[in-house]
Amino acid sequence: MSDFPVYAFDAAIVREPAPSVVNGLRAEDRGDPSFDGILAEHAAYVQALRDAGVEVTVLPALADYPDAIFIEDPALVFTEGAVLLRPGAASRLGEAGEILPTLRDQFGQVFDLPQPGFAEGGDVLTTRDAVLIGMSARTDRAGAEGLVQTLAVLGRRARIVETPKGVLHFKTDCSLLDEESILMTHRLEGTGMFPGHRAVVVPAGEEAAANALRVNDVVFVGSDYPRTIEMLDNLGYKVVPLKTTEIGKIDAGLSCMSLRWKKPS
């Protein structure tokens, strides 16, 4: 494992949204998002990454893949290398091949997820002790076990956990606040998934705020969740509120819009 915090990043990859993003996958129909709204939210997100000290590579939009803006799902990246994943949604399978040339440019080693099975980055949470892989509708047992094997080659220890029923991705309900603390929903509290970590539970009614994103010294939180922001502020975190109203309509949050890593020194 690295000798710097797992939330220390100096590089990231994002992808511009295509107009087709308004047709993105969703588990619940909350109306189509505004394309202009998604563009604005994405631009603010990229600027926030840069303000936090991250060098951002922006890839062009992919009109044939409405969900390609959520670039964290088809790949995993670490200082040691990258893993090309296999999304569990059929409409997203081609996204992995689209990002592969960029991964090869950026990383000395890129591994493929072994066959068979599916795994998406939204189900993967990196903590100081282990990489947690949540099984879900998008990440199955074969994919999770294959990912454990691949991460071992990178020198990363991984552990498989059960994502609660009805949760799209593991990280829909949790995120890293610091090396000791996990922000989570009530349904994850008490599950025993996070031994050795402090549970910080989002207020009832603001469950979507659990998908926050720690980047260096700041924590990105959806600006639609004022009680979560106040709670984290009172706990001493430096919070950067970011609008997620439109991307939230297509089941997305803050972590899924970038691939983040610390370059080798």
**Phi, psi angle pair for 259, to nearest 5°:** -105, 125
38 a known binding residue? no
Single out the residue of 54, 69, 55, 73 nearest to residue 24, CA to CA.
69
50 annotated to a ligand binding site:
no
Options 169, 174, 186, 197, the catalytic residue: 169
Is residue 42 part of the annotated active site? The answer reads: no
Cα separation of 159 and 126, whole Å? 10
Residues 262, 176, 137, CA angle at the centre, nearest 5°? Answer: 100
Q: Is 251 annotated for ligand binding?
A: no
Which amino acid is residue 2, in one-letter code? S
Determine which one of 42, 174, 197, 256 is catalytic. Answer: 256
**Cβ contact 72:80 at 8 Å:** no
Contacts for 257 with CB less than 8 Å, ≥ 6 apart: 14, 42, 45, 69, 70, 71, 72, 247
> Contact, 11 vs 54, CB < 8 A?
yes
Residue 32 annotated in ligand binding:
no
Q: What is the DSSP string of 41-73?
A: HHHHHHHHHHHTT-EEEEEPP-TT-TTTT-TTT
Cβ neighbours of residue 82 under 8 Å, at least 6 residues apart?
75, 76, 103, 106, 107, 109, 110, 111
User: Is 123 labelled as part of a ligand binding site?
Assistant: no
Q: Is 174 a catalytic residue?
A: no
92 marked among binding-site residues: yes
Instruction: Consult the annotation and say whether 25 binds a ligand.
Output: yes
Binding residues: 25, 67, 72-73, 92, 138, 250
Binding residues for substrate: 25, 67, 72-73, 92, 138, 250
Q: List, by residue number, the catalytic residues.
A: 169, 256
